[in-house]
């Protein structure tokens, strides 16, 4: 251990933007990840665990998000002068794996991955620099059946973790349709795909803000620009009114059924070859999903879905929770997006030069957990262990035998291991642990082969509500023969 | 995505010393961690998950191992000029947490933690720079009952993951006894504990090598020094023959029973106050464990256990697997250590100035997994999913319905999503996935409402063993009505 001879002690603090997770926070997340993994696994997806560290070269130095080009990664230089970095998502490592093991992996390669990712961003409230992602991707399938499968699996996963049907919707769009609309609007040229990249970036970001800004706000961003409430001005894409009309028509193309939406999109973008292709893909996806019973109450075609990442090349999808919660200011708002993904056919190409079709989804585990908690749907048992108290230090072995008996019966139990001198401290400890039952055996009880069981939940209730007389009668406390310990505790825990 | 306009493509490689884990490697480890967590949890330990990143200040810049002072951490400077680093173990973050939340946590605080840690070491064969640890610690208990509990729990955890009784032993020693022996040998002065630190370091490392070097090798290291086979000279501790005799007597103090070993230790170190204290602690631990039925076949007092880390202050323990495996050179050797720990009363003091008693254990998950694999005791189901093949692209929805039916019955299943043109490729894919059954439905089968099931494991067996006539009769292939699909597959999987 580093010697600490100077007067200055190290600060006991997490680094800024990082946090610790205790007890039920850990088990709740684990239970959720286990359930999602089970869904992915049942669909034939195989787990993959890559290391947290990648070469900057393999990762790309910055996040691939055109929206936020300054977001970075945590990176450092190795002794060999190589730059290493913490992964910022689970897709970049998958692209590396798909390239590195391309001769060994089954193709298509269906894989799932779950684990922390790191972002070197300015931390904010509820915004951490390490958080969990939980991804499923299919690499090597050009078929939109793969996209449909991902959407169906996402719906299954949400229901499996406790979001009932009706409380979520998976919205599906297609970048090709979007490009078709851009082509019709005159800001995409199939012969020179790089042209107008800047303008299209502004248009995509404007569409993404439709929910928040409404049609007029988006129209301003499509045109000259927009001044927000604080007076800040955002430069627009410089589109004409007619061009903006095409784009706005696209955003509001959603109809009641997938068929009707697809028909409307065909009107809007059908004049473009790529637009037509995208529309047909959406139609196939809608048909495949309908045939499997995933109706528009669960998965719906929605032209306003964009997804920020620049790398998507075909279908894009987003899962939204539709119920309302109270935000920090006590105002009702929809919970919003908890998962997203899409088709990205060019990620592996970076390494191999060959285009590899791929599609996948990433679930924002921490947001999804927050949603379940907000709805009170978390099912984790937050009860602490049964605490065997220590009345007589010399009989420690006997107390440990009691705890062992309880554990053998599947009951979580422990012996108090702090200083046993002050018995009140032992009960305070049991309260702090949220312990349901305290086991007590002093010399008297031991001599008649008995133990006292104290129902701590009932005890707390009585302390809060009962009269002095009720309290004195100690209904929360009962003496049982030592050999009945396990059965009596089991009954107190409602497992009788 | 970073544009890759130049001719040079990024290399698709894991950084040196890191690796990827696929499929069963991931599920096997997860199953093991789940089982260990269950044991820890049942004993009243609460999960804690700290972030991978800590401040260098909180972590201490280097590993606290006097043995290898140059081992480092992966560290980098933040934008705010703070130095951050990846955790090198799970104990340093626990010390930080115990200090940071000392007013909120229950005391004693029993916690378990599992996850990757990172070491900036030279990678070697089977030696990676990221690996898993799985720890349980009790912070705030000075009682050796806490140490005894950790040892008992460690034995339980090993049995739970599949190491049968007799194939492991938890060996327990006490640093205080060691210090007592050092005092008797004249290289520890209770009045000036810092004196002879260098010599004691050499002595500890020498004892740690007893298994490998034998008494004569250790004696050389205790004295002037030792030349190894390669001719390299290691400088010794400079002890006299008489001093070395004391130390060697200590190493070989192990007797058949804990009581006899403790008695022998009392002879050797009882002249020292601290030695006597350590001996009494070992005696109490042995008594507590015996009372709970943990005999010397599972947990034994063994004076040759040292544990490398400098920070241990009392009992130390180590779990060893006692069965033999074949090493890389085909030679039999004992598998060796898979877990270790001990009491460290000074780690939290770094932060708060106040000594906090703590004890814990760390299980080397990857080594333990390797041991289970070496013994063929891993129980993971490595079978792939049932693969529904695609004979007719237009009936994709029907194929997906088949897979969905199977999944609803709890059977892992998927539709082939590669290019379906070449049917042979689909069967090759199923083989590569280690798929047990392929489902086939062409136009003929569809018209009579049937599917063909191909038992791929039986098929492979027949292909390897059968005559041409047997092979032609295709016993591995059978046609069933579509509505019997689930029942028939279930039977083929041995779940009938």
Query: Is A351's Cβ below 8 Å from some Cβ in B?
Result: yes
Res B458 pLDDT > 60: yes
CA distance A476 to chain B (A): 22
Give the pLDDT confidence of B133-173 residue by residue, as tens digits: 999 999 999 999 999 999 999 999 999 999 999 999 999 99
Contact A350 B412 (CB under 8 A): no
Q: Rounded mean pLDDT of A266-275?
A: 89
* Nearest one of A447, A457, A449, A444 to A402, comparing CA atoms: A449
- Whole-angstrom distance, CA of residue B114 vs CA of residue B96: 16
Considering only the beta carbons, identify the residue of B22, B42, B407 that sits closest to A42. B407
CA angle A437, A438, A440 (to 5 degrees): 145
B101: which chain A residues are within 8 Å (Cβ-Cβ)? 20
Q: Cα B66 from chain centroid?
A: 22
Interface of B with A in 424-463 (CB under 8 A): 429, 432-433
Q: Does A276 touch chain B (CB under 8 A)?
A: no
Residues of B with CB below 8 A from A106's CB?
429, 432-433
* pLDDT higher than 90, residue A460: no
Chain B nearest C-alpha distance from A414 (Å): 5
Q: Which residue has the higher pLDDT, A333 or B207?
A: B207
Query: What pLDDT, in 10s, does the model give residues A291-348?
Result: 888 999 999 999 888 876 668 899 999 999 998 877 777 788 778 889 999 999 888 8
C-alpha to C-alpha distance for B217 and A439, rounded to whole angstroms:
53
Binning pLDDT at 50, 70 and 90, where does residue B5 land? low
pLDDT value of residue A364:
92
Parallel/antiparallel/unpaired status of strands A233-235 and A358-364: unpaired
Q: For B5-29, what is the mean pLDDT?
A: 88
Q: What is the pLDDT of residue A43?
A: 96
**Cα radius of gyration rounded to whole Å, chain A:** 29
Type and span of the H or E element at A202: helix A197-208
Contact yes or no for A53 and B60 at CB 8 A: no
Return the residue in B28, B53, B77, B286 with the most chain A beta carbons within 10 A, the one to mutate for interface testing: B53
Query: Whole-angstrom Cα distance, residue A73 to residue B262?
Result: 55
Distance from the first to the final alpha carbon of chain A: 50
Residue B496: the pLDDT is 65
CB of B265 within 8 A of CB of B117?
no
pLDDT interval class at A69 (50, 70, 90): very low
pLDDT at B65: 46
- The four Cα atoms A426, A432, A437, A438 give a dihedral, to 10 degrees, of 0
- Does the beta carbon of B149 lie under 8 angstroms from any beta carbon of chain A? yes
pLDDT at B66: 38
Q: How far is B95 from chain A (nearest CA, A)?
A: 8
The β-bridge partners of A480 are: A451
Among B18, B115, B418, B434, pick the best mutation site for testing chain A contact (most A Cβ within 10 A).
B418
| Cβ pair A276, A266 in contact under 8 A | yes
- pLDDT for B347 equals 84
Q: Regarding beta strands B109-118 and B46-49, do their DSSP bridges make them parallel or antiparallel, or are they unpaired?
A: parallel
* Cβ B347 vs Cβ B91: under 8 Å: yes
Show Cβ contacts of residue A464 under 8 Å, excluding neighbours closer than 6 positions.
none
Task: Please determine, for residue B308, whether its predicted confidence score (pLDDT) is greater than 80.
Answer: no
pLDDT of residue B470: 66
pLDDT for the residue B68: 40
Q: How far B211 CA lies from chain A's nearest CA (Å)? A: 26
Give the residue with greater pLDDT, B482 vs B124. B482
Interface test with B, best of A17, A27, A33, A51 (most B CBs within 10 A): A51
SS3 B92: helix
Going through A262-389 in order, the beta strands assigned E by DSSP cover 299-301, 315-326, 332-343, 358-364, 386-388
Cα(A322)–Cα(A425) distance, integer angstroms: 47
A179 touches chain B (CB under 8 A): no
> Domains, chain B, ranges and CATH?
24-374 (3.30.930.10), 386-492 (3.40.50.800)
Of B8, B18, B130, B3, the residue nearest A60 (C-alpha): B3
CA angle centred on B483, ends B479 and B486, rounded to 5°:
80
User: What residues of chain B lie within 8 A of the CB of A15, using their CB?
Assistant: 51, 53-55, 78, 82, 84
pLDDT of residue B490: 95
- Min CA distance, A252 vs chain B (Å)? 29
CA distance linking residue B172 with residue B342, whole number of Å: 9
What local confidence, expressed as pLDDT, does residue A68 receive? 39
pLDDT at B63: 47
Q: Is the pLDDT of residue A3 over 80?
A: no
Whether residue B67 has pLDDT greater than 50: no
Using DSSP, state whether A22 is helix, strand or coil: strand
Token digits of residue B285: 């631990």
B481, B179, B141: which is closest to B312 by C-alpha? B179
Query: Do B49 and B114 touch, CB atoms closer than 8 A?
Result: no
Distance from CA of A332 to the nearest CA of B (A): 32
User: Which residues of chain A have a CB within 8 Å of the CB of B418?
Assistant: 107-108, 140-141
B412 contacts A12? CB cut-off 8 A: no
Task: Work out the number of other CB atoms within 10 angstroms of the CB of residue A278.
Answer: 25
pLDDT, tens digit, for every residue of A235-268? 998 999 999 998 998 888 888 888 899 999 998 8
On the 0-12 / 13-18 / 19+ scale of CB atoms within 10 A, A312 is: buried
Confidence of residue B69 (pLDDT cuts 50, 70, 90): very low
Q: What is the pLDDT of residues A17-45, one digit of tens each?
A: 999 999 999 999 999 999 999 999 999 99
B398 shares contact with chain A (CB less than 8 Å): yes
Token digits of residue B52:
């991978």
How sure is the predictor about A136, in pLDDT bands with cuts at 50, 70 and 90? very high
With a CB cutoff of 8 Å and minimum separation 6, the contacts of B367 are B337, B338
Q: DSSP states of A258-286 as a string?
A: HHHHHHHHHHHHTTSHHHHHHHHHHHHHH
Comparing B55 with A335, which gets the higher pLDDT?
B55
The backbone region for B115, taken as left when phi is positive above 0, alpha when psi lies in -120 to 50, beta otherwise, is left
Q: Kindly state the average pLDDT of the residues B14-35.
A: 94
Beta bridge partners of A360: A137, A342
Average pLDDT across chain B, whole number: 88
B143 touches chain A (CB under 8 A): yes
ipTM metric: 0.89
- Which residue of chain B has the CA closest to A20? B50
The pLDDT mean for chain A works out to: 89
- In sign, the C-alpha dihedral spanning A395, A397, A401, A403 is positive
Pick B350's closest partner by Cβ from A4, A16, A47.
Answer: A4
The C-alpha atoms of residue B456 and residue B278 are separated, in whole angstroms, by: 62
pLDDT band at A65 (very low <50, low <70, confident <90, very high): very low
Q: What is the nearest CA distance from A366 to chain B, expressed in angstroms?
A: 14
Given this model, what pLDDT does residue B125 score? Answer: 78
Is the pLDDT at B3 greater than 60, yes or no?
Answer: no
The answer to whether residue A412 neighbours chain B at the CB level (below 8 Å) is yes
Helix (H) or strand (E) holding B440: strand B437-440
The top-scoring range by mean pLDDT among A68-72, A149-153, A393-397, B78-82 is A149-153
Say yes or no for a CB contact (<8 Å) between B412 and A41: yes
Residues of B whose CB is below 8 A from A145? 396, 400, 415, 417
Q: What is the DSSP letter of B209?
A: T
B18 touches chain A (CB under 8 A): yes
Nearest-CA residue of chain A relative to B104?
A432
* Distance between first and last Cα of chain B: 50
Helices of type H across A411-473: 423-432, 443-447, 456-465, 468-472
* Interstrand relation of A299-301 and A168-174 (parallel, antiparallel or unpaired): parallel
Assess contact for A438 and A453: CB atoms under 8 A: yes
**B197 phi/psi in degrees, rounded to 5:** -55, -45
Residue A10: CB partners within 8 Å, gap ≥ 6? A4, B55, B57, B58, B60, B350, B351
Shortest Cα–Cα distance, A331 to chain B (Å): 31
**Is A107 at the interface with chain B, CB within 8 A?**
yes
Residue B292 in contact with partner chain A when CB distance is under 8 A: yes
Residue A270 makes CB contacts below 8 A (sequence gap 6+) with A180, A276, A279
Q: State the Cα–Cα distance between residues B303 and B315, nearest whole angstrom.
A: 11
Q: Is-contact A251 A269, C-beta < 8 A?
A: no
Query: Would you call A291 an interface residue with chain B, using a CB distance cutoff of 8 Å?
Result: yes
The answer to whether residue A387 neighbours chain B at the CB level (below 8 Å) is yes
Query: What's the confidence (pLDDT) of residue A66?
Result: 38
CB contact B481 to A (< 8 Å): no
For the beta carbon of residue A262, count every other beta carbon within 10 angstroms. Answer: 22
The burial class, CB within 10 Å (0-12 / 13-18 / 19+), for B160 is middle
Q: Which residue of chain B has the CA closest to A75? A: B76
Indicate whether A404 pLDDT > 50. yes
Distance from C-alpha of A437 to C-alpha of B487, rounded to nearest angstrom = 47
Round the CA-based radius of gyration of chain B to a whole number and report it: 29
Tell which A residues from 27 to 66 touch B, by Cβ distance under 8 Å.
Answer: 27, 30, 41-44, 46-55, 57-58, 60-62, 64
**Between B461 and B30, whose confidence is greater?**
B30
For A163-209, the pLDDT digits (tens) are: 999 999 999 999 999 889 999 988 888 888 888 888 888 888 888 88
């Amino acid at each position: 251990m580093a010697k600490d001879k100077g007067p200055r002690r190290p600060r006991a603090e997490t680094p800024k933007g990082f946090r610790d997770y205790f007890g039920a926070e850990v088990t709740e997340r684990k239970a959720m990840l286990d359930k999602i993994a089970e869904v992915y696994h049942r669909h034939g997806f195989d787990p993959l665990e890559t290391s947290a560290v990648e070469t900057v070269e393999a990762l790309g130095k910055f996040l691939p998000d055109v929206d936020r080009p300054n977001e970075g990664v945590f990176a450092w230089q190795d002794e060999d002068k190589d730059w290493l970095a913490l992964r910022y998502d689970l897709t970049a490592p998958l692209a590396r794996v798909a390239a590195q093991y391309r001769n060994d992996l089954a193709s298509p390669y269906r894989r799932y991955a779950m684990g922390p990712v790191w972002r070197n961003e300015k931390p904010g409230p509820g915004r951490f620099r390490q958080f969990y992602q939980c991804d499923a991707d299919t690499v090597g399938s050009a078929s939109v059946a793969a996209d449909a499968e991902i959407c169906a699996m996402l719906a299954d996963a949400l229901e499996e973790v406790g979001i009932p049907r009706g409380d979520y919707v998976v919205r599906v769009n297609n970048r090709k349709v979007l490009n078709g609309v851009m082509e019709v609007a005159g800001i995409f040229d199939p012969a020179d795909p790089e042209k107008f990249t800047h303008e299209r970036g502004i248009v995509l970001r404007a569409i993404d803000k439709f929910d928040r800004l409404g049609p007029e706000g988006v129209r301003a961003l499509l045109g000259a620009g927009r001044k927000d409430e604080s007076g800040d001005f955002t430069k627009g894409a410089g589109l004409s009114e007619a061009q903006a009309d095409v784009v706005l028509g696209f955003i509001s193309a959603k109809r009641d059924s997938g068929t009707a939406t697809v028909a409307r999109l065909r009107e809007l973008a059908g004049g473009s070859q790529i637009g037509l292709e995208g529309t047909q893909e959406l139609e196939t996806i809608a048909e495949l999903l309908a045939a499997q019973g995933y109706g528009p109450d669960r998965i719906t075609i929605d032209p306003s879905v964009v997804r920020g990442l620049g790398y998507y090349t075909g279908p894009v999808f987003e899962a939204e929770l539709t119920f309302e919660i109270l935000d920090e200011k006590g105002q009702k708002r929809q919970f919003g997006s908890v998962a997203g993904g899409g088709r990205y056919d060019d990620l592996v190409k970076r390494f191999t030069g060959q285009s590899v079709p791929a599609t996948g989804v990433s679930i924002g585990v921490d947001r999804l957990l927050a949603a379940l908690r907000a709805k009170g749907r978390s099912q984790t048992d937050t009860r602490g262990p049964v605490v065997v108290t220590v009345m007589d230090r010399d009989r420690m072995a006997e107390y440990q035998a009691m705890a062992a008996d309880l554990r053998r019966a599947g009951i979580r139990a422990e012996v108090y291991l702090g200083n046993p001198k002050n018995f009140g401290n032992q009960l305070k400890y049991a309260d702090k642990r949220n312990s349901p039952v305290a086991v007590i055996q002093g010399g008297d009880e031991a001599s008649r082969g008995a133990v006292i069981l104290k129902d701590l939940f009932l005890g707390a209730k009585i302390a809060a509500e009962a009269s002095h007389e009720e309290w004195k009668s100690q209904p929360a406390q009962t003496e049982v023969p030592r050999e009945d310990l396990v059965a009596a505790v089991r009954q107190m825990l409602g497992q009788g």
